[in-house]
Structure 1
Amino acid sequence: MDRNLDTVVRETSTDAYELRLDDDRETTVSIAEAMATIQGCSSTDLRPLYHDVDPALLERVGSRSSRQSFHFVSNGFDVTVRGTGTVRIEHLD
């Protein structure tokens, strides 16, 4: 079972999920595991994020020391990473 299961919260009015990043984990790993949890599969079953986004950029934006946000699409999800340490993951239609 993915560790992110308890940190991924579904928004009740949309098909989106909110993920709070853990300072002790890489942002890319947290996002991949959250996507897998939402899809009901293993993170190894998904296309690696580095095919769709620069992992170093995700780490910088997700570091909480950044006031930036970054948006990308991967594995059928629309993803927004915020410098506040949260990630919004929404299924694409």
Structure 2
Amino acid sequence: MNVPATLEVELDAVTNDAGETVYEVSYDRPLQPTLAIVTAVATIEECEPTDLRPLHDVVDTSALDRFVDGAWQRGSTPTVAFTFAGYDVEFRGPGHARLEPVT
């Protein structure tokens, strides 16, 4: 399951230790982390990103992008987690996030 390459987002479904499907998201700069998450969730749900609840209703998107990008530039691993559109979202390092369905 992949989104168009122009968005530079890759989405891989994997099975966690509990046997549940989770999604590993990879993206490249300059794509904003928030756009990567919205694009990934829309791809999983097979809908348009505009069909989802706005991410800015859940988290300060500007602050999130600055935090994750800043960590990326410093070579550190950001620790950010929140719930969006039925998924627990966790940033796992520069250009990587994990989406786990909320059960």
With structure 1 as the length reference, what TM-score do the two structures score? Answer: 0.85
Q: Report what 1:67 is aligned to.
A: 77
* Rounded Cα–Cα distance in structure 1 between residues aligned with 2:77 and 2:32: 18
Determine which of 12, 23, 34 is the counterpart of 1:17: 23
* Rounded Cα–Cα distance in structure 2 between residues aligned with 1:60 and 1:28: 10
The Cα RMSD (Å) is 2.1
Determine which of 60, 71, 74 is the counterpart of 1:54: 60
With structure 2 as the length reference, what TM-score do the two structures score? Answer: 0.77
| TM superposition outliers: structure 1 runs of 4+ over 6 Å | none
**2:11 matched to 1:8?**
yes
Question: Of the two, which has the highest radius of gyration?
Answer: 2
Determine which of 11, 34, 38 is the counterpart of 1:32: 38
SS in 2 for 1:62: helix
Q: What runs of 5+ residues in structure 2 fail to find an aligned partner?
A: none
Q: What runs of 5+ residues in structure 1 fail to find an aligned partner?
A: none
* Rounded Cα–Cα distance in structure 1 between residues aligned with 2:29 and 2:48: 22
* Rounded Cα–Cα distance in structure 1 between residues aligned with 2:89 and 2:54: 14
Q: Is the 8 A contact 1:18 1:86 kept in 2?
A: yes
**Amino acid in the other structure paired with 1:8:** L
